[in-house]
A and B are shown apart, each in its own frame.
Chain A
């Protein structure tokens, strides 16, 4: 019974809780929270407590696999790597670097992500590198870098317990970032005022002092009305505006009519708006937290700017207990962005289209790097359908389940000449691959994750990799070697991290030893701030003065009509994470809900003849799924909602691909649907069965 306890970081959301893995004779027997962790303080959420199931050897991919007409064939690493290299060489020779690309993973370490973008830029010679931040916080990066000069959470988790007011806007932290959600509940019980703006009555909305239950997609109208109310009443922070912001005149002019018709547009009464505006602006310290309810709209970037405007005019930035704080979805989505796994920036957000930055990377990597910004993940999908993109390497993501308009993604992936997928288990995306590689889980590797408060934390290996699984940067390096490049020849993860710190200004004073000693380091961590930075923008913004930028309401792309009379939005359950490939391996979490569900107001259900837990069919202009109805007052009449965790009933059969023009963020939060009850006694059919029937029907 030789038990060992290895300290690491939870692999699920962006909170980055401290997790200990208890092993016995090389096997994981249990997980436990870290008592002294600066963010989680001895706590875990249900996903964290169940994390051991997610990496269990059962169902894991243990060897490289190559697709044959008879199905997947187990092969050696050598054969897999040779197949990949030959495929890439052919595509590069025939169609050039622009026909190849990499989708990296916000679940993987900084070291893995750095290796991925370096393989793309320095070896394949393309900037076609992206990851799922595209569909969570790309509008945050685009919006906040315009207004504040940096697209990350401005403050820290600890601030939640040292503030006077928390405004949660379009986020459901108790379900998606449960430990932060818990901090909010604790703060509220101890007297901090809590305002929740959300079309759904979330758990926090039930506890809040005030719930602004706005109509779906009316974020900017509500925020502009708050700005107008504050300016009209003189509640703004004049000193902060004078000294640290520019653009007040234009903003003031732009919101002149913001109160007209706002009650109708948002569903919130003027007195409610005034009371929220007063409370936020007049609190000594007020903190904004926001999530996908801001970003996943065609108006995503402008929504972020509208929030930023509100915080800026009230001077609620740059101090403890204030700030504009995006809640990042994945354990390392912040890090994947920091590492430059985006088509337009290098590590540390140094711009690809800036010749100086390009020269710097060419020099450091001792090779020419490509000139033009690359394609986004959806750009690669579309270029594939257009015949211009042929070879994709992808790891730790399941876009077939998680990207909007599933059918489009599937069509594109089946058209690729080479699809390489590295994964823990056979996801729907992996099933479509030409070569499948076995990836090591978080417990089987070392490296760093960067949490949503910019804290770079050390992940330590507790278990040997399952089967022949390899850490992502290792197999990426092996591909580079097959292509004749030694660009990725590091001997351990610490060596990768050293390279990161040399070329990424915000990480420049970091090292593994200091990260361990100080329980993580928050960037910027450079020679001026060798112990990291808890609060951004204290004295100045990276762009000097912050910018107030006028934004106007933008309607959602698809309104309800006679044919599709209900609006569908998406949510997450605190039991599941992403495509469910890890959490659904827990017998406890899998037992908790049906495999797919639709939340619907009892009045709507009654009109349609739908009863609690009965089977329903849901149709949009793009697809059809069947699932079980859950009747709840948490949704207003006219609005239904589905989580996207279940491959049997993927909400992304239905969702709209209309995009935010700047960031290409699809409007996952709003589309029109119709709902019909299925015959009594019928069970919902999984999507595979429905699709099979459709094909037969065509024949």
Chain B
């Protein structure tokens, strides 16, 4: 992995801005807190046309974005993009955007309020297979820039930087390790994961959590790995019909309701159970090589019903313990 010294992320940003649109325009790379909204929508749009039909012909509506940079993305969100890359491997709309994206990660050096990335192997240091470049702050005036692949290296062309010392790699590892140590004890997460996978969560608890879930869709909207969508047809004023997809949420009662009105998850508790099984189920981990949760904690912050990840896992851990 090549590495360089950088006086400030803006040096890199300004260089990249010559050939790329920079997203988000205002990111603060020194911040160890992921933004409220993950970059998910930059690759998997919240509303997207799939095709149009003018009464005779179907027309393709693949997006054609100009090359863009996701700048200063935290490891949790990069892990999520890596996960989505698998899920959307054959999705031409996602891939049309993804091919144009350059990912610049940033290492977190302090735990954030809701985050628990170390517990789900998603940070706080950026893994090189999840980014094209990684920013690592050394001091107020000095940054380390790690180049993860050829795409990253090509993007640096024309920018003169001093190569970094080998020793910086070890120092980086140490700094990340010390950040990991500062995270709060979250053993309840491990207990909760075990309880979910061993089916030790009492049904009554799922039902109770189901009463609290307002089906607001906040968790699934903010979750960087949630990828469910619905479709509808919309008619333009000229009569053309567009099929559009939009972000859906498995917490809606109607998400799985069938045309006959039969619904395998009519009970809210069943839906809450399914959501968490998808995030922490071993079967999903086998398919994707990791859990669906990347430890960003956004669901905890945004859930009005107090059934975000920390609240749920604490209650599972305590109730499941009572059970044994």
A binds B: yes
Chain A residues with a Cβ under 8 A of chain B: 1, 3, 22, 29-30, 32-33, 35, 41-46, 48-50, 58, 174, 178-179, 181-183, 185-186, 189, 203, 206-207, 574-575, 587-588, 591-593, 613
CA distance A592 to B248 in the complex (A): 12
Are A43 and B303 CB-contacts (below 8 A) given A1-B23, A32-B37, A587-B230?
Answer: yes
| Interface 9-mer from B51-59, B71-79, B209-217 | B209-217
Contact A588 B230 (CB under 8 A): yes
Tell me the nearest residue of chain B to A48, going by C-beta.
B216
Query: Which of B45, B216, B305 has a CB less than 8 Å from the CB of A185?
Result: B305
Contact B23 A3 (CB under 8 A): yes
Question: Per-residue 0/1 for B292-308: is the Cβ within 8 Å of any A Cβ (1 yes, 0 no)?
Answer: 00000000011111100
Query: Which of B254, B301, B306 has a CB less than 8 Å from the CB of A182?
Result: B306
Contact B306 A186 (CB under 8 A): yes
CB of A204, distance to nearest CB on chain B (Å):
9
Residues of B within 8 A of A574 (CB): 214-215
Contact A588 B246 (CB under 8 A): yes
20 chain-A/chain-B pairs, Cβ below 8 angstroms: A1-B66, A30-B37, A33-B218, A41-B301, A43-B303, A43-B304, A45-B214, A46-B216, A46-B217, A178-B304, A179-B304, A181-B214, A185-B212, A185-B305, A588-B246, A588-B248, A588-B249, A591-B230, A592-B253, A592-B254
Is B68 on the interface with A (CB-CB < 8 A)? Answer: yes
Residues of A within 8 A of B36 (CB): 32-33, 35, 42
Query: Which of A1, A44, A183, A588 has a CB less than 8 Å from the CB of B218?
Result: A44
Residues of B within 8 A of A45 (CB): 214, 216, 304
Query: Which of B41, B46, B261, B304 has a CB less than 8 Å from the CB of A181?
Result: B304
Is B65 on the interface with A (CB-CB < 8 A)? Answer: yes
Is B32 on the interface with A (CB-CB < 8 A)? Answer: no
CA distance A46 to B249 in the complex (A): 11
Are A587 and B23 CB-contacts (below 8 A) given A42-B301, A49-B221?
Answer: no
CB of B23, distance to nearest CB on chain A (Å):
7
Query: Which of B41, B221, B234 has a CB less than 8 Å from the CB of A29?
Result: B41
Contact B212 A207 (CB under 8 A): yes
Is B188 on the interface with A (CB-CB < 8 A)? Answer: no
Residues of A within 8 A of B303 (CB): 43, 182
CA distance A43 to B303 in the complex (A): 6
CA distance A547 to B139 in the complex (A): 65
Are A46 and B254 CB-contacts (below 8 A) given A3-B24, A182-B304?
Answer: no
Contact A182 B217 (CB under 8 A): no
Contact A591 B254 (CB under 8 A): yes
Residues of A within 8 A of B218 (CB): 33, 43-44, 49
Contact A30 B41 (CB under 8 A): yes
Contact B37 A207 (CB under 8 A): no
Tell me the nearest residue of chain B to A34, going by C-beta.
B36
Question: Per-residue 0/1 for B13-43: is the Cβ within 8 Å of any A Cβ (1 yes, 0 no)?
Answer: 0000000010111000000000011000100
Known pairs A1-B65, A182-B303; list 12 more (Cβ under 8 Å): A30-B46, A35-B36, A42-B302, A43-B303, A46-B214, A174-B214, A178-B304, A181-B304, A182-B304, A183-B304, A185-B304, A591-B230
Query: Which of A29, A174, A206 has a CB less than 8 Å from the CB of B46?
Result: A29
CB of B51, distance to nearest CB on chain A (Å):
17
Residues of A within 8 A of B248 (CB): 588
CA distance A22 to B35 in the complex (A): 14
Are A58 and B234 CB-contacts (below 8 A) given A181-B214, A592-B252?
Answer: yes
Is B47 on the interface with A (CB-CB < 8 A)? Answer: yes
Question: Per-residue 0/1 for B100-140: is the Cβ within 8 Å of any A Cβ (1 yes, 0 no)?
Answer: 00000000000000000000000000000000000000000
Contact A182 B305 (CB under 8 A): yes
Question: Which residues of B from 274 to 324 have beta carbons under 8 Å from A?
Answer: 301-306, 311
Residues of A within 8 A of B252 (CB): 588, 591-592
Contact B246 A587 (CB under 8 A): yes
Contact B25 A43 (CB under 8 A): no
Residues of B within 8 A of A42 (CB): 36, 301-302
CA distance A33 to B303 in the complex (A): 11
CA distance A236 to B40 in the complex (A): 56
Lowest 10 CB-CB distances: which A-B pairs, in order?
Answer: A182-B304, A591-B254, A46-B216, A587-B232, A43-B304, A42-B301, A592-B254, A30-B46, A186-B306, A45-B216
CA distance A587 to B211 in the complex (A): 24
CA distance A48 to B249 in the complex (A): 15
Residues of B within 8 A of A592 (CB): 215, 252-254
Residues of B within 8 A of A29 (CB): 41, 45-47
CA distance A49 to B41 in the complex (A): 15
CB of B297, distance to nearest CB on chain A (Å):
11
CB of B131, distance to nearest CB on chain A (Å):
20
Tell me the nearest residue of chain B to A174, going by C-beta.
B214
Query: Which of A33, A35, A189 has a CB less than 8 Å from the CB of B306?
Result: A189
CA distance A96 to B301 in the complex (A): 57
Tell me the nearest residue of chain A to B214, going by C-beta.
A178
Residues of A within 8 A of B311 (CB): 189
CA distance A44 to B25 in the complex (A): 25
CA distance A207 to B253 in the complex (A): 20
Contact B215 A46 (CB under 8 A): yes
CB of B142, distance to nearest CB on chain A (Å):
30
CB of A558, distance to nearest CB on chain B (Å):
33
Question: Per-residue 0/1 for B224-237: is the Cβ within 8 Å of any A Cβ (1 yes, 0 no)?
Answer: 00000010101000
CA distance A398 to B230 in the complex (A): 30
Residues of B within 8 A of A182 (CB): 214, 303-306
CA distance A35 to B31 in the complex (A): 16
CA distance A46 to B216 in the complex (A): 4
Residues of B within 8 A of A185 (CB): 212, 304-306
CA distance A203 to B213 in the complex (A): 10
Query: Which of A33, A178, A181, A183 has a CB less than 8 Å from the CB of B302?
Result: A33
Tell me the nearest residue of chain A to B220, going by C-beta.
A49
Tell me the nearest residue of chain A to B304, going by C-beta.
A182
Residues of A within 8 A of B249 (CB): 588
CB of A358, distance to nearest CB on chain B (Å):
45
CA distance A207 to B213 in the complex (A): 12
CA distance A23 to B104 in the complex (A): 24
Contact A203 B211 (CB under 8 A): yes
CA distance A203 to B304 in the complex (A): 13
CB of A300, distance to nearest CB on chain B (Å):
28
Tell me the nearest residue of chain B to A592, going by C-beta.
B254
CB of B100, distance to nearest CB on chain A (Å):
10
Tell me the nearest residue of chain A to B207, going by C-beta.
A206
CA distance A225 to B179 in the complex (A): 59
Contact A613 B261 (CB under 8 A): yes
CB of B238, distance to nearest CB on chain A (Å):
13
Residues of B within 8 A of A22 (CB): 37
Residues of B within 8 A of A588 (CB): 217, 230, 246, 248-249, 252, 254
Tell me the nearest residue of chain B to A1, going by C-beta.
B21
CA distance A394 to B65 in the complex (A): 45
CB of B63, distance to nearest CB on chain A (Å):
10
Tell me the nearest residue of chain B to A586, going by C-beta.
B246
Contact A1 B68 (CB under 8 A): yes
Tell me the nearest residue of chain B to A179, going by C-beta.
B304
Residues of B within 8 A of A179 (CB): 304
CB of A288, distance to nearest CB on chain B (Å):
21
Residues of B within 8 A of A178 (CB): 214, 216, 304
Residues of A within 8 A of B216 (CB): 43-46, 48-49, 178
Tell me the nearest residue of chain A to B248, going by C-beta.
A588
CA distance A178 to B261 in the complex (A): 27
Contact A35 B301 (CB under 8 A): yes
Tell me the nearest residue of chain B to A49, going by C-beta.
B217
CB of A106, distance to nearest CB on chain B (Å):
23
Residues of B within 8 A of A1 (CB): 21, 23, 65-66, 68
CB of B214, distance to nearest CB on chain A (Å):
5
CA distance A182 to B249 in the complex (A): 19
CA distance A574 to B21 in the complex (A): 40
CB of B52, distance to nearest CB on chain A (Å):
15
CA distance A185 to B305 in the complex (A): 7
Residues of B within 8 A of A593 (CB): 254
Question: Which residues of B from 238 to 292 have beta carbons under 8 Å from A?
Answer: 246, 248-249, 252-254, 261
